[in-house]
Structure formats: C-alpha cells, structure tokens
A and B are shown apart, each in its own frame.
Chain A
Amino acid sequence: MPKKPQVPSWVKLDNAAKIYPAAKSRTWSAVFRLSMTLSKPIDLAILRTALKQTLRRIPIFSYKLSTGLFWAYLDKNEQEITLYPDTSNPCVWTQQRGDDRFLFRVRVYGQRVALETSHVLSDGHGAMRFLATLVACYLQMKEGISISKNAYVLDLKQNPGPAEWQDDFVKNARKAVRSRKEEAAYHIKGSPLPPGTVGLICAQIPIDALKEAAKGHRCTVNTFLAAVLFEALLAIQKRDRQLSLPIKLSIPVNLRKYYRSQTLRNFASYFNVPIWAKYGEYTLEDIIRQIKAHTELETLEPLINARMSTNVAAENNPILRLVPLFIKNAMLKMMYNLTGERYFTLSMSNLGLIDLPADMQPHVKRIDFVPGPSKQNKLSISVVGYQKHLTINFVRQIEETEVEKEFLTRLVKLRIPVLIESNRR
C-alpha cells in the first residue's frame, strides 16, 4: 500500500503571493486563466472525479487563504470542489462569503475546460502543470488511454513532495539587493467598461509565420512580438501627445529556468523594458535592439537574483514582521495603489510553447492563456503557443481597442495572418 503523503496542514504564503491578499479589493483580485479545448465535449461527472484525483496529487491547490496575527497563510481546505459554468467575463470573480474558499475555479464550456487561479496560489507555469495533469487524468478516465508524464503532466501515482509547495524565493535569495527606483510609465487611457465587464480579444497566429518574421529580424518570437507591440504603443502615445513618459513593457521571467525548482507555487520575476518616445522616432529594428539589449542585461542571473532578493529582504525585515497584519495590509495596499502598476504600461506574459505528451496532443486542440484584468492598468496581454499556433489574449477594461487594432494590423501588414475572436459580439 503506498505511503500516505505527508502534506502540511498549513503553509506560509510565498514571497510573491504576500502582496495579493493586501492589494485585493471587493471588486478585484489577481486571477488569471488557462484553458484547454479538447476534441470532444466534456463529461462533467468524469471531470469532477479527475479533479478530485488531481487535487490528491497536487494538494497545495486545495488550500484556502486564512489570516493570522502577522501574516496570511494557506490552510487546508476540506470542502468539496465544485465545477462552474463558464461566463462572458472571465477572471473577475472575487472570494465571497459562503464560497467554498478555493483559490481556483474550474469552468466548463462545451469542449473547453478552463482553470482560473488566484496569484496567491500559483503563477502561470504552476497552474499550467495543474491543468495539464487534470486534463491528462480526465483523458485517461474518459478515453481509457495511458498518458506519459512530462514537464507539464505530473505522475498521478507519485506522492506529492515538499518541493512542490516550497517557497523557492526564500530558498534561492541571497544577501545582495537592488534599488527599485524607476521612472513612472505612460498609461493607456480609455472609457471604462461597466463594473465586472472585461473586453477580451483572442488572436491566433501561425507559429511558422511568426518564426519566419522573427528570423528575418534576427530575434526571438517573443522579442519580435514585443517590438511590434512597442511600435503600436508609440503610435498611440504620439496621438495622445504625451511623450514625456516612457512606454514600459513588463516581461515576467520564469525563475525555474535559473534554479532547479519543482515548485507549483509562484516562482517568477519580471523586468521592465523602457522606450522613450521623446528622444525621437524608432524603427522596428531600433526597438528590437533596445529590447534585446535590456533583456540580455536584465536576465543575467545575478541581476535577477538581486531583484528577487530585494523582495525577500523586505519580507524578512524584523520591524515589518512584527507589525500586525491589519496594519501591514493597509500599508501594502496603499503602496500597491501608489506604485504597484505605476512603473509599466502593460505586461506581456509568455508561457512559451507548451509541449504536452505525444499521446495527449491528439485530444487537445487548443490552449489559451488569459491574463486577469489589472487593478489599475487598462490592458493586459498574454501569449501561449501550442502545436502550430500562437494564441495572444488581450484583456482590457476600457471600450477602446486601439492597442489591439494597432498591434494586430501591424502584424497583418508584415504578412502575418491573424484570426481573431472576442467575448463581446
């Protein structure tokens, strides 16, 4: 009989997660979404069973957020998990009283199963592994096939280990810290959508066309997309006649590439790439050079580690640790409202090319990565690749679609075909 896994009854929040319970409000919490569209309609009963099995394998996802005297923490949650129907406004749910208090939701719509996760629990890579494992478990039960494990699909027969819920920020941080001083960024403006509504545009682009275009400019696909996005934002900023502030793109970095980490919780950093329109006109090549230079510098391990260590040092400050949570939350909330999203125009998260096991791929037609709406910035973008297509999801909280239009029409002009759909018809 396999040994029962030693799952802790409670765990501390990881370093990145600590800001979110403080920053959240009645109408916003940091939620993002990953989804897989299968080749057949979803069987809810089987999915429910698969979800229970996946939670046994990845128990950290079942934890609920609780508050202590000095810090919030994750507590074991014995509630029954429910499946939710999908909605036209994804990622806008916030924890309500009477909820089952899970920090994620599994939504079903036709052939699509979506996982909406709070950033308190995990980041994109951790959530992708959960979703891939869930779908693999579902397909094994539904289709009767055997799916091999890989970087994304965990072995259901294996016991969960402490490495999967470890706070790798604290484990890998060093003493050297970096200044967080930055210049404020230009922000997109627009007419706000009604509360609770998000405008979502999904663009599907053939990966080969993108690779060819990127190769022509001697850069990666991510750099190429970022450069076209910068071009679009510069055009908008010029029309807005607000050239004094730089446009800054926030690019998350998966720290699992730098350190041997198996954690399913948050383990990512970011850096902001700036471009100042006030200095003059930039061609696409100029922008690509700027992005490459910044990326090469900011993704050096010592600099990435210093940025991560700064946050860990703040968490370990003895005065901050002894401040009661309700005061800490008020201070962190104020700091987040003043500076949290001030230093970047928008963020572009890229999960890269998802390589599911070969026996799973015929059953999964499409993968989407939808960023949650930001608290202050009006637009967020995320990118994920699967098989032959790259899917870019734009989530906005304003009526205007200027950024999406500028960006996608530029791709079309570069002879890259784009197929789009939206949640508002």
Chain B
Amino acid sequence: MAYCVHCGVELAPSESKCPLCQTPVPDSCRPAPNEVPGPYPETFEYFRRHINIRFGFGISLLFILAVSLLVLAIDALTAPKMSWSFYVTGALMCLEIILFVPLFIRGYRPYTHVTLDFVALALYMLLLGRLTGSYLWVFHLALPLLAVITLCLYASFYVLRRFHRGIFIRLAGFLLALIITMLAMDGIIDHYLSSIKLNWSIFAGIPLLALAVFFVLLDRHKRLRESLHKRIFF
C-alpha cells in the first residue's frame, strides 16, 4: 500500500504519483506503475469537429432569396413600374456569389473564387447597363477595369504561391503587378474620358517601385537583412 506523504490518501497500484498533488511515490516494493493496468486505457477518443459549411451556404442563399423576393414584391406593389428592386436584387445576388459561394466549394481554390467574382460583378455591370439604358460605360470602363483587377489578382496569386523564391522577391513581384495594374486602370479611365495621359498612377507607382527595389535588395543582401532584423525584431 502506498500513501501520499502530503495528502495522506492511499494510492492505487497504477498511480506513479499522487493525482491530487503530483508528489511522486517512491516505493521499491511496489510493481512499476506501467506494469499495472490503469483504471482507464491510454487510448484517447477524438471527436470530429464537423462544421457544416454547406449548410451555412444554404441558409445564406435562402435568406438572400427571401429578401430579394420581398424587395421585388414591395416594388411591384408600390410603384406603377418596377425599377429600383432590380438594382437591389442584382446586388444581393452578386453578394451571395462573392461571399457565400466559396463556402460551397471544397478546398482552397483562389483562381476559381476570383473567376466567379469577376463573372458575378460583370453580370451585375451588364444588368446596370441594361437598367440605365447605356452599355457604353460598361464595355469601355467597368468591364476593362474588372478584367485588369482580375488579371492582377491572378498574377499576385501566382507570384505569392507558385513562384518558388524568397518572400521579399515575391513581395516585389506582387508590387510590380500592382504598379502595372494601376497604370492599366489609369489608361482605361483616361481612354474612356478623353485621351490617355497617365497621371495619378505614376505618382502612386513611384513609391511602390521604390519599395519593390528595396525588397529585391533585401533578398540579395543577407547582411542588410540581418542588420535590419536585429534593429526591428519584435
């Protein structure tokens, strides 16, 4: 029989230390605790934390559909000709695709998500064009801007995930993609308004270019990296 010298309780043969105060039980006359089966086996039963994300998508879809139907009904009942409800319904559907469809897709697929977002926004732009009676701004401004931003995101994903170099080179690549995107956006907006005269994108691009160059230098010079690291680590 072994007792805990602090608590005074008798310890079962399977206990190597007192469960109450963790005091070890040195008793050469006892069999080693691992030779005596414990009151419970060593195996641990894990429970699966199952989160039903698709159920979340279903609920969100039902909610959006309900709100859309309500909006359409109010517009139909209160106005002689339905108008504003299409803007709201279109925006809600767009929101559903951007925010909740990713819940339905298994795994991490950034290209698929971005493509779906582009399609959703493009369709919404087309709807707005139809409702406003003019497609000019849609095809000459909105869709080109969307396309440029989407391409920028594709490039960013590629650079950050697939480009197998150091983190600073990848950040520099991302910044370059951002600069090109801003130049393209500036050009598209200028072309829509009158003629191409790149303006704000140059001012925004210069500091980003400087930062990208700095990242490239950091990647190539280990000493510079260490010098910075020891001054600013946290």
Footprint of B on A, CB under 8 Å?
A: 26-27, 85-90, 92-94, 96-97, 109-110, 196-197, 200-203, 401, 404-405, 408-409, 412-413, 417-425
Known: A401-B20, A420-B12. A88 touches B42 (CB 8 A): yes
Given contacts A26-B49, A26-B51, A88-B44, contact A412 B38 (CB under 8 A): no
Chain B residues close to A by CB (< 8 Å): 7-12, 14-16, 18-21, 33, 37-51
Known: A88-B41, A409-B20, A423-B40. A96 touches B15 (CB 8 A): no
Contact B45 A425 (CB under 8 A): no
In the complex, what distance in Å separates the CA atom of A369 from the CA atom of B20? 20
Query: Contact partner of A96 among B8, B9, B50, CB < 8 A?
Result: B50
> Nearest CB to that of A368 among chain B residues?
B39
| Least Cβ–Cβ distance between A420 and chain B, in angstroms | 5
Contact A425 B15 (CB under 8 A): yes
Q: 3 smallest A-B Cβ distances: which pairs?
A: A421-B12, A422-B19, A412-B8
User: B11: which A residues are within 8 A, CB to CB?
Assistant: 419-421
> Majority SS of interface residues in chain A?
loop
> Contact between B40 and A404 (Cβ–Cβ < 8 Å)?
no
- Can you give 24 A-B contacts (C-beta < 8 A)? A26-B49, A27-B47, A85-B43, A86-B43, A87-B40, A88-B43, A89-B45, A97-B50, A109-B40, A196-B45, A196-B47, A201-B20, A401-B19, A401-B20, A401-B21, A408-B20, A412-B8, A418-B9, A418-B10, A420-B11, A421-B12, A423-B38, A423-B40, A425-B15
A-B contacts at CB below 8 angstroms, number: 98
Q: Are A421 and B50 in contact (CB under 8 A)?
A: no
Q: How far is the CA of A97 from the CA of B12 in the complex (A)?
A: 39
Tell which of B15, B16, B39, B47 touches A92, judged by Cβ atoms closer than 8 Å: B47
Q: How far is the CA of A408 from the CA of B43 in the complex (A)?
A: 28
Chain B residues with CB under 8 Å of A94's CB are 47
Complex CA gap A338/B151 in Å reads 50
Contacts of A423 in B (CB 8 A): 38-40
Quick check: B15 and A412 within 8 Å, CB to CB?
no
Alpha-carbon gap, A412 to B14, bound state (A)? 21
B7 & A412 in contact (Cβ 8 Å cutoff): yes
A421 interface neighbour in B7, B38, B47, Cβ under 8 Å:
B38
Docked Cα-Cα span, A409 to B8, in Å, equals: 7
